[in-house]
Amino acid sequence: MTLARPYDVVLYGASGYTGALVADCLAQSCAGAGLRWALAGRHLDKLEAVRSQLHLHSVRDIPDLLHAESGDAGSLHELARRARVLINTVGPYAAHGDALVHACIAQGTHYLDLCDEPQTVDHLRRHWHHLAVRKKICILPCCGFMSLPVDIGVLHLLEGLRHDFGASLRHQRVEVFAGIEADGAISGGTWAALLQSLAESGLPRLRRFQAAQQQALPARPQYRQDLQRWALPLVTIDGDVVRQSARLRGDYGADFRYGHFALGEHLLPMLGLAAGIVGLTLAAQWSPTRQWLQGRLPSGSGPSAEERARGWFRISLIAQVRNRRWQTQVSGGDPGYGATSHMLTQAALLLAGGGIAAYGVLTPASALGLAIIPALERGGVHFAPISPCPPSPALS
């Protein structure tokens, strides 16, 4: 990272629905900060259209436009060579992520994306982690609503426990329950990536979920009296990310257990949603039905500004050590795009500023630590103070 580079941050995939929102978030965050940044993608005319819509404060904040294509390894290496930090919003990442990660490691460039594909993240860990450590590069997937807020939220909660237990927390059994509530629409690109992810890893994802239960709270529907909510287990990458943070950091307790759940006031609608997810997973295994489903939400489409303004999320976190419990909450606006764009942007700026806790293929908590919380708070992602809650039986 000693070579001079023209850009602090380069956003690849800026002409897509999510990429354009991240570009605008970058424009607002980089205003007056003296950061050099650029937008990159296949079509310069589309990038110019995105740039023309940015909320720029002065001509000094105008980003450059760079050409690169996912199928052209040379252009990806050239792109990586020019950036200190590269953000990738081109999914699905199983198809478009690995070549760019390779280029970033080869060129000494930190990398972030919004991947929520378990098999893709596993591949990155197996193939690139040790080389990234040797080259002192941070490769950071899962840096949007999946899975940054819950991962940083758990770290925030456990930091509060350390005030009570000190170094002895390392020797304790620590149980953390996470309950997710959210409302928001999705874009065509996200829908296509979801269907592809389910097609490639639907059944393996279920087997992976079962295998992970040795490090998790029992995954069964339950009524949480403390939250006045029903909780159903969620088969998403978030639980794996939090448990990976525990392994990488090594300070979450000698026996760390984590459970990831969806919350709702009424059981029947939640069971209906769970059945719908299972049905979608099965439908995605067959190409004709997958293509038909993908056509229901075309690529490039997405929720309007008004729809995004109505979106929200709330993550309730409860930790138990022995017979004592603590709680906190992470909350914010539109989870899929508004909050996600802000999270990805702030993570990239923290890396560009040298705020890196470790190297390798990492998780938000292991790479960024608590340093990102102030920037997230300024953008409307709120971390509630940690408070004790009444004793109860074990969280499981």
Amino acid at residue number 252: Y
Residues 121 and 178 in one domain: no
| DSSP character string of 52-97 | HTS--SSGGGPPEEEE--TT-HHHHHHHHHTEEEEEE--S-HHHHT
Residues 156 and 117 in one domain: no
Read off the pTM.
0.91
Does residue 204 have a pLDDT over 70? no
- Establish if 346 belongs to a structural domain: no
Residues 278 and 167 in one domain: yes
What tokens does 15 get?
């002409």
Residues 181 and 45 in one domain: no
Place of tokens 């919350």: 263
- Establish if 344 belongs to a structural domain: no
For residue 220, the model assigns a pLDDT of 79
Residues 202 and 68 in one domain: no
| DSSP character string of 84-152 | EEEEE--S-HHHHTHHHHHHHHHHT-EEEE----HHHHHHHHHHHHHHHHHTT-EEE---BTTBHHHHH
What tokens does 7 get?
């850009």
- Establish if 347 belongs to a structural domain: no
Q: Are 6 and 109 in contact (CB under 8 A)?
A: no
Beta bridge partners of 328: 317
CA 189 to chain centre: 16
pLDDT grade for 261, boundaries at 50, 70 and 90: very high
pLDDT grade for 281, boundaries at 50, 70 and 90: confident
pLDDT grade for 209, boundaries at 50, 70 and 90: very low
- Establish if 395 belongs to a structural domain: no
- Establish if 360 belongs to a structural domain: no
Residues 58 and 189 in one domain: no
Q: What is the CA radius of gyration of the chain?
A: 21
Residues 116 and 181 in one domain: no
Instruction: Provide φ and ψ at 230, rounded to 5°.
Output: -80, 145
Q: What is the CATH number of the domain that holds 131?
A: 3.40.50.720
Our count of domains for the chain comes to 2
For the segment 106-127, what is each residue's pLDDT rounded down to a tens digit?
999 999 999 988 888 999 999 9
- Establish if 199 belongs to a structural domain: yes
Residues 327 and 279 in one domain: yes
Please identify, among 140, 157, 179, the residue that sits at the C-terminal boundary of a domain: 140
For the segment 72-94, what is each residue's pLDDT rounded down to a tens digit?
999 999 999 999 999 999 988 88
**Considering the chain, what is the average pLDDT of its residues?**
88
Q: What span, in angstroms and rounded, lies between the C-alpha atoms of 134 and 94?
A: 24
For residue 214, the model assigns a pLDDT of 46
Torsion of CA 220, 224, 228, 234, to 10 degrees: -40
Residues 70 and 171 in one domain: no
- Mean pLDDT for 293-299 is 77
- Establish if 368 belongs to a structural domain: no
- Establish if 348 belongs to a structural domain: no
Residues 205 and 120 in one domain: no
- Mean pLDDT for 164-189 is 88
pLDDT grade for 375, boundaries at 50, 70 and 90: very high
Residues 55 and 28 in one domain: yes
Note down the domain range covering 104.
7-140
Residues 104 and 166 in one domain: no
